Amino acid sequence: MARRWRRTDAARLFIAAAAAYGANVALGTAVAVRLIDTRRFRWVHHVLYIITCVATGAALSAAFWARPVAATRRAAAFLAPAIGPLAVIPYAGTRTRRHPLVALAAAPFIVAGLVASRLPSDRK
């Protein structure tokens, strides 16, 4: 019987985490280069940050319940280091260079988790 390649059950969670992070970075960049003025709705950036953290946590939780187990745990392991920069961002200050640098430090881990979640799991 031929083996079928399956993506992880939790791939959508990894996509949601990456999309929320991308939207947050895009908004932050647009504000930094003064394309958008968010003085009246600054809360949108904060809400996107919270959504990013929740989606990342949900994707990481998939390591305990999603199938196939090995592929999901591999994707979660790639994503896990993003917790550090995401936790430090609120303390990095918003008027310095530190804030965007800390925020961008999470990017490689979010992308790696996304890519790993989309790879076929039955490779031999």
Whether the pLDDT of residue 99 is over 60: the answer is yes
| Cα-to-chain-centroid distance, residue 56 | 5
Residue 3 belongs to a domain: no
* Whether pLDDT at 10 is above 90: no
In-domain check, residue 66: yes
Query: What percent of the chain has a predicted confidence (pLDDT) above 90?
Result: 67
Mark 4-23 as b/e (b = at least 16 C-beta within 10 Å): eeebbebbebbebbbebbbe
Query: For residue 101, what are the domain limits?
Result: 11-118
Comparing 34 with 121, the larger pLDDT belongs to 34
* 4 falls within a domain: no
Asked if residues 59 and 16 have their Cβ atoms less than 8 Å apart, the reply is yes
Query: What average pLDDT does range 98-103 have in this prediction?
Result: 93
Contacts with 95 (C-beta within 8 Å, 6 or more apart), sequence order: none
Q: Flag whether pLDDT at 4 surpasses 60.
A: no
Mean pLDDT across the stretch 97-116? Answer: 95
In this structure, is residue 55 part of a structural domain?
A: yes
Is residue 86 in some structural domain? yes
Average pLDDT of the segment spanning 11-22: 96
Rounded to whole angstroms, the Cα distance separating 109 from 38 reads 28
Q: What region does 5 belong to: left with phi over 0, alpha with psi -120 to 50, or beta?
A: beta
Give the pLDDT confidence score for residue 1 in this predicted structure: 46
Q: What pLDDT score was predicted for residue 116?
A: 92
pLDDT reading at 15 higher than 60: yes
Tell me how far apart the alpha carbons of residues 92 and 49 are, in angstroms, rounded to a whole number.
14
More confident residue, 4 or 89: 89
Overall number of domains in the chain: 1
